[in-house]
Amino acid sequence: MPSYHILVMSDGTGETAYRMLKAAMAQFQEDVVITRYANIREREQIREILRAASAASSEDTLVVYTFVGSELRSFLKGRADEEGIQSVDLLGPLMDSLAGFFKKPPVAKPGLLHRVDEEYFNRIDAIEYALRHDDGRSIKDIGSADLILVGVSRVSKTPVSIYLAQEGWKVANVTTVLGMKPPKELFEVDQHKVVGLKIDPSRLMEVRTERLRQLGVNDSSYADLERVKEELTHTENIFKQNPAWPVIDVTGKSIEEIAQDILDKVIGRGRKL
């Protein structure tokens, strides 16, 4: 068994590189150990990390890096070549293309992506908003939400709300319950913010059964197919009575996919970065 080692080096958190690597690695299904070096700002740091890596094993090591400045980029490339270590510049080609596109050089200042500015505080507020407005809580002030997700228990409302909150959206969510009307506040807000989530009944039954198993709970009605179908029909009727709400089918979709569907439907495909 070869033991591969990938070094991630960045002048920021290394998060961009890490996510990109994760996307690419999903296509290879190899076991690798990733070592992340964040906040690299000096040539000496690069020199030392590469020297140690080369001493350990240059053949089974790959370096992927994101530096906003071209100087550290080319320094790293040169050193890696000398040490016989393969390296991949993830950000450089895109930075060069953007410089051509905008006809101006980049600021090339590390740390701008994760700077603690107003947008940053908005994101934190949005996360706390999602927590306060999870599962019908704080229903009195859902008028302040950007988006309100409606659907049965375990249709992914909470994780999707949290995901969208990380992107800065204030999201509330409301659970539909069999035999009960949704709270009246839901119909008093701008109806274009409300999104219904639906799911295939067998899939929901599977998700709930798994949930009960994990919790060690034995509640037959929660994961019973007939009961699940009734709940979904009840919910679908609510959606039909409110045709302004877009309805999204979450069956088989990941949180990221559901979140994109919601934004595409409610905000539109073209958005500011």
Contacts (CB under 8 A) with a copy of itself, residues 7-36: 12-16, 19-36
CA distance 220 to 224: 6
Say if strands 247-249 and 147-151 run parallel, antiparallel, or are unpaired: unpaired
Residue 58 vs 242, nearer CB to a copy of itself: 58
Of 128-136, 144-152, 170-178, 236-244: span binding a copy of itself (CB under 8 A) = 128-136
C-alpha count within 13 angstroms, C-beta hemisphere, residue 100: 6
The angle, 0 to 180 degrees and rounded to 10, between the axes of the packed helices 255-266 and 157-166 is 70
Interaction residues for a copy of itself, span 226-265 (CB under 8 A): 252-257, 260, 264
CB of 248 to a copy of itself, least distance (A): 14
CA 89, 95, 99: angle at the middle one, nearest 5?
A: 150
CB of 23 to a copy of itself, least distance (A): 4
Interaction residues for a copy of itself, span 182-221 (CB under 8 A): 210, 214
User: Which residue in the set 101, 184, 220, 244 belongs to the binding site for a copy of itself (CB under 8 A)?
Assistant: 101
User: Which residue in the set 52, 81, 82, 113 belongs to the binding site for a copy of itself (CB under 8 A)?
Assistant: 113
Of 119-127, 190-198, 228-236, 241-249: span binding a copy of itself (CB under 8 A) = 119-127
CA distance 234 to 226: 12
User: Which residue in the set 44, 93, 140, 220 belongs to the binding site for a copy of itself (CB under 8 A)?
Assistant: 93
Burial per residue of 116-145, b for 16 or more beta-carbon CB atoms within 10 angstroms, e otherwise:
eeeeeeeeeebbebbeebbebeebeebeeb
Interaction residues for a copy of itself, span 165-184 (CB under 8 A): 165-166
Segment holding 77, helix H or strand E: helix 70-83
Of 85-93, 176-184, 227-235, 240-248: span binding a copy of itself (CB under 8 A) = 85-93
What DSSP assignment string belongs to 221-259? TTT-HHHHHHHHHHHHHHHHH-TTS-EEE-TT--HHHHH
Q: C-alpha dihedral over 130, 136, 137, 139, to 10 degrees?
A: 100
Q: Does 1 bind a copy of itself (CB under 8 A)?
A: no
Of 72-80, 159-167, 180-188, 233-241: span binding a copy of itself (CB under 8 A) = 159-167
Residue 242 vs 246, nearer CB to a copy of itself: 246
Of 97-105, 142-150, 168-176, 231-239: span binding a copy of itself (CB under 8 A) = 97-105
Residue 224 vs 264, nearer CB to a copy of itself: 264
